[in-house]
Amino acid sequence: MSTQSEFSLIETYFTDLTSSRDDVYLGIGDDCALLSCPVEHVVAVSIDTLVAGIHFFADVDPESLGHKSLAVGLSDLAAMGAKPAWFTLALTLPDSNDAWLMAFSKGLAILAKQYNIQLVGGDTTKGPLAISIQVHGFIKPEQALRRDGAQIGDLIYVSGTLGDAGAALQLKLQQWDDEVLTVQDRHYFYHRLEKPSPRIDVGLALLEFATSAIDISDGLSSDLGHILKKSRVGATIDLTKLPLSQSLQNISKTKAVELALNSGDDYELCFTIPADKQSLFESTVDGEYRQIGVIDAELGLRAISVDGQMDTITGSGYDHFSTNS
Amino acid sequence: MSTQSEFSLIETYFTDLTSSRDDVYLGIGDDCALLSCPVEHVVAVSIDTLVAGIHFFADVDPESLGHKSLAVGLSDLAAMGAKPAWFTLALTLPDSNDAWLMAFSKGLAILAKQYNIQLVGGDTTKGPLAISIQVHGFIKPEQALRRDGAQIGDLIYVSGTLGDAGAALQLKLQQWDDEVLTVQDRHYFYHRLEKPSPRIDVGLALLEFATSAIDISDGLSSDLGHILKKSRVGATIDLTKLPLSQSLQNISKTKAVELALNSGDDYELCFTIPADKQSLFESTVDGEYRQIGVIDAELGLRAISVDGQMDTITGSGYDHFSTNS
């Protein structure tokens, strides 16, 4: 029930982030920021909260946490095909810790600079460690990569590799381990969990091609499920085609596929491309992505398993409140 | 480190809030919301976090908390002269409690409907009780009521009455009491603390007249101090002119003035009007407001005290990181 005067100088840590763009008519320092949206575009917005002990370990490296807090929002812009513009930061901290704040803001700043996204507002509060970031981007509304546009016959793709962040989480929680994993494998997994790369470039490149897209935050089965539900279609995916990192290929095939199919936090994109645009898409758009299945009329998600069996995947992603799931 | 499936049905409580406006191209349910800004306007944004035990008592009536969470943001739009449009809600809850959520969403909904502001995105998370709300409104940029526009000779006004919320807070914290206060006085103070009225109509009416404005969240001396610092001017206010509610007039003059000058949470507006527009302003704009002082060249904030002495008020509002303070 007090204003936290010890937080008054936090401004210092974030100054680098507050002055990169011409479309910020008025930035931090007034009752509101004033922001200019380009004509013929809409503003794409998404807000996400990361809470200590729920979304991250309280002792996580603060630079990685700064990175991830913004990466999660950028990934939502990527999944919409939107170009990043601005973000706001609501930071709740138990105490004002110089070293922690410097590292946290550094992680934020490096990613913000990479994507030319400017900090335009904030609120800093004393309390249990939590970070809410709202991202804002631009897109022409008719081009947006919505979840409800997948059509029967469209091909299903994913970017990057899947399951790496899930492997890291299970290792950290001591829910699973495998003696074949090297120190390098483990570090790779941890890096994927703590410093995900938002696929902004992939999202922008998809605008001409994709009928739908989502980012994989909860797991492929769950997130593809959102597309299927919103588009009122079904899908069959081929589990032998799930893209696996070299490190994940070191463990048993069954475990690797389970992680790639069901674990979250990879922040890759899942998207659909009409079959008649496949060759143009694959010859035009560079980057790491792979076709893993096809949209079909029968509702639900089916998988051709590693041994050639067809399984129905239940409980996939039909229950979320969020624009950001 | 899990997705909170018990939170999956929270959507139920907020559905009423998600479909009132035509300028929402795509609302809740995708990776981002897509929002249309009217031409020749900018989007005014502000984010605020309320944390249990810091900004409110954990056992506060949840309907009042829903009201206040949105009112705080609306007050920032009012202080900018912006017209409310959309908001996002990041809600962190220790558990999913039906009765609590129903009351909280009711408090939000009543205020949202009153100001035609639509919920366009959200994130619901398990953790210590906290609420971050970002509000978005429209304004023509050249009309915005910034903090940096006060000119020497301008008259200083405040809306409503000051000090009531501060009285409530001191009563609740048992930092102060006065036996002259009736049950009705106490209830009035509590109401002012828990259900502040954002002065949207005042803000919109000021667009033709005011050179600067701010909302009084931290206290008049502190918040007027922000205007003085940003505008590089000083001010003299007359403490005998501070608007006091009937309930506050029941206590000692000294204590009442101290509360009106230094306590926050009233969410009234403080603004400046050029002297040559005073009569037109007062004859054109209805509502409860009062002139309390004048902007002058000498830096700092001075007060003509109740006994006619001139005092310098130190430490006023020169130390905040926030677009929302």
Q: Give residue A228's pLDDT.
A: 97
Of A49, A52, A125, the CB nearest to B51: A125
Q: Which of B23, B24, B31, B120 to mutate to test the interface with A (most CBs of A within 10 A)?
A: B31
pLDDT tens, residue by residue, A121-159? 989 888 999 999 999 999 999 999 999 999 999 999 999
Q: Which of residues 10-49 of A touch B (CB under 8 A)?
A: 10-11, 14, 25-26, 28-37, 39, 42-49
Structure token digits, residue A155: 């091909």
pLDDT at A319 over 50: no
What pLDDT score does B10 carry? 57
The pLDDT tens digits for A21-48 are: 999 999 988 999 999 999 999 999 999 9
Q: Which among A210, A45, A39, A204 is positioned nearest to A115, based on CA atoms?
A: A204
Q: What is the pLDDT of residue A16?
A: 77
DSSP string, A11-43: HHHHGGGS---TTEEE-SSSSSEEEPPPTT-EE
Of B113, B143, B173, the residue at which a domain comes to its end is B143
Question: Inter-chain contact A321–B11, Cβ cutoff 8 Å?
Answer: yes
Enumerate residues 74 to 133 of chain B having a beta carbon within 8 A of any beta carbon in chain A. Answer: 76-77, 79-80, 82, 88-90, 92, 120-128, 130, 132
Q: What is the CATH number of the domain that holds A276?
A: 3.90.650.10
* A102/A162 same-domain check: no
Residues A122 and A162 in one domain: no
Do A160 and A309 fall within a single domain? yes
End position of a domain, from candidates B143, B168, B197:
B143
DSSP letter (8 states) at residue B17: G
Identify which of A45, A92, A136 has the shortest CB distance to residue B49: A92
Per-residue pLDDT band at B11 (split at 50, 70, 90): low
Nearest CA-CA partner of A61 in A217, A190, A197:
A190
A64 lies in the same domain as A126: yes
Residues from chain B that touch A53, judged by Cβ atoms under 8 A, are: 1, 127
Cα–Cα dist B56/B148, whole Å: 31
- Chain A residues 263-292 with CB within 8 Å of chain B: 264
Q: How many domains does chain A have?
A: 2
The interface predicted TM-score (ipTM) is 0.93
Q: Of B138 and A16, which is predicted with more confidence? A: B138
Residue linked to tokens 């109509």:
B201
Chain A residues with beta carbon closer than 8 angstroms to that of B43:
34-35, 37, 43
Q: A58 CB near a chain B CB, below 8 Å?
A: no
Residues B122 and B10 occupy one common structural domain: yes
Same domain, residue pair B160 and B84: no
Domain that residue A177 falls in: 155-313
The answer on pLDDT for A102 being more than 80 is: yes
- Residue A325: inside a domain: no
Angstrom distances, CA of residue A173 to CA of A188, A249, A261, B160, B314: 17, 21, 19, 55, 52
Q: Is residue A182 located within the same domain as residue A114? A: no
B77, part of any domain: yes
Selecting from A47, A79, A122 the residue whose C-beta is nearest the C-beta of B90 gives: A47
Question: Where residue A50 sits, what CATH number does that domain have?
Answer: 3.30.1330.10
With a cut of 70, say whether residue A223 has pLDDT above it.
Answer: yes
Angle between helices A98-114 and A62-80 (to 10 degrees): 30
For chain B, list the strands marked E by DSSP.
24-26, 33-35, 42-51, 83-93, 118-126, 130-139, 155-159, 212-215, 234-238, 269-273, 289-296, 300-304, 310-313
Residue A67's SS3 state is helix
**In sequence order, what are the residues at sequence separation of 6 or more whose Cβ sits closer than 8 angstroms to the Cβ of residue B129?**
B51, B52, B58, B92, B93, B94
Which residues of chain B are within 8 Å of residue A11 when distances are taken between CB atoms? 321
As a whole number of angstroms, the longest Cα–Cα distance in chain B is 63
Task: Report the mean per-residue pLDDT for chain B.
Answer: 91
Taking contacts as CB-CB distances below 8 angstroms, the residues of chain A near B125 are 49, 51, 54-55
**Closest chain B residue by Cα to residue A325:** B31
pLDDT in tens, A251-285: 999 999 999 999 999 999 999 999 999 999 999 99
CB A90 within 8 A of CB B90: yes
Q: Residue B324 falls within a domain, yes or no?
A: no
- Domain membership of residue B320 (yes or no) is no
Q: Do B32 and A79 touch (CB under 8 A)?
A: yes
Is residue B294 domain-resident? yes
B325 belongs to a structural domain: no
Tell me, yes or no, whether B213 lies in a domain: yes
Residue B283, both tokens: 């004859």
Asked if B242 and B119 sit in the same domain, the reply is no
Q: How many whole angstroms separate alpha carbon B312 and alpha carbon B120?
A: 46
CA atoms within a 13 Å half-sphere pointing along the CA-CB vector of A240: 7
Q: Indicate whether B30 and B9 sit together in one domain.
A: yes
Mean predicted confidence (pLDDT) in B182-196? 97
Instruction: Say which amino acid occupies B14.
Output: F
Chain-chain contact of A47 with B137 (C-beta, under 8 angstroms) = no
B99 plus B39 within the same structural domain: yes
Its pTM stands at: 0.93
- Domain end position, chosen among B115, B143, B171: B143
Q: Give yes or no: residues B262 and B286 share one domain.
A: yes
Cα A260 from chain centroid (whole Å): 15
Query: Same structural domain for residues A297 and A245?
Result: yes
Sequence-ordered list of residues with C-beta below 8 angstroms from that of A171, at least 6 positions apart, any chain: A177, A181, A186, A189, A190
Mean pLDDT of chain A: 91
Check: CB of residue B113 under 8 Å from CB of residue B51.
no
Q: pLDDT tens-digit profile of B34-93?
A: 999 999 999 999 999 999 999 998 889 999 999 999 999 999 999 999 999 999 999 999
What is the pLDDT at residue A11? 66
- Nearest residue to A122 (alpha-carbon basis) of A18, A208, A257: A18
Asked if residue A323 belongs to a domain, the reply is no
Residue A297 contacts B where some CB pair is shorter than 8 Å: no
pLDDT at A314 over 90: no
